[in-house]
Structure 1
């Protein structure tokens, strides 16, 4: 069984991080939630208890299909086990990043959905 705490983030794919940052930071006034490295491909902006993110990846092009949401799970390993039990194909991961664990799947209509677990600290 998977239990949820909150929506971890909503992410929008972008083709040019520098151009996107000018919009999200320069125009919308958002502040990155961590120092941004020059070669960053993913940037998060905390907004209240939620998070908006932008990311650039060749296998994640922007489209008119909308953003992707990530659901914060309490037990990432159990969530992955549940997905595997149901033979759900992973689009990304499962993966261990410096800040979180995440795995992306598709819903029956092809929409991407990420299960996410923040690391402490």
Structure 2
């Protein structure tokens, strides 16, 4: 991974009231809704033009207040990252697998934030 090739790809926020949150970001903040779809697990997904997605906050995460579902980074060497994660005994939560972004791998940082890296 060389300098300037990696970048934040997208942010997925979980909302306790999805439509209220969509209204806030679209009507008040001024972000455009570019797509409404569903995840494979059935949760609704609202994509905004700024690289942010909005979905429902699952009941099991509501008590913790964990609003950020994951932060995604676009990287140039997914295989090298997977190797590094394994060498450092970082548990891979999901992947590597093909997603709409390319090959993605999901894992948690030391504070429990879910991270996605894709090529």
Which of the five TM-score ranges fits, normalised by the shorter chain?
0.5 to 0.7
* Residue ranges of structure 2 left out of the alignment (5+ in a row): none
1:46 to 43, 46, 49: 49
Q: TM-score, normalised by structure 2?
A: 0.65
Structure 1 segments of 4 or more deviating over 4 A? Answer: 62-66
Q: Does 1:109 align with 2:75?
A: no
Secondary structure of 1:36's aligned partner: strand
Q: 1:65 to 1:85 in 2, by over 3 A?
A: same
C-alpha spacing 1:114/1:29, structure 2 compared with 1 (3 Å) = same
Q: Which residue of 1 aligns with 2:78?
A: 76
- Report the alpha carbon displacement of residue 9 of structure 1 after superposing the two structures with TM: 1.7
- What aligned pairs does 1:10-21 form with structure 2 within 5 A after superposition? 10-21=11-22
Query: CA, structure 1 residues 56+64, in 2 after alignment: closer, same or farther (shift >3 Å)?
Result: closer
How many equivalent pairs are there?
112
Structure 1 gaps, min length 5: none
